[in-house]
Amino acid sequence: NVGGVSDIIEDGKTGFILKDLEPATIAQAIMDALSHPQLAEIAQKGRNHVVQTFSLQPSIRQWQHILIGQ
């Protein structure tokens, strides 16, 4: 949970945020994710969010709005 990750990932909805990067924490998070009943849905929501927010066209629109007010 560093560098604005929580601005991009909604824990348990569009991905998973770890409290630290200790090997035991990472291992437990992997095991939890793999056994999560909605893992495929969470992964798809995460992918959709990234594509809708950070792909080329949304980025161009954001910069147009910033630079020329469109």
**pLDDT, tens digit only, all 70 positions of the chain:** 667 888 889 999 999 999 999 999 999 999 999 999 999 999 999 999 999 888 998 889 889 999 997 6
> What pLDDT does 39 receive?
95
> What pLDDT does 70 receive?
61
> What pLDDT does 1 receive?
61
Distance CA 42, CA 61 (A): 26
> What pLDDT does 34 receive?
94
> What pLDDT does 24 receive?
97
Q: Are 29 and 16 in contact (CB under 8 A)?
A: yes
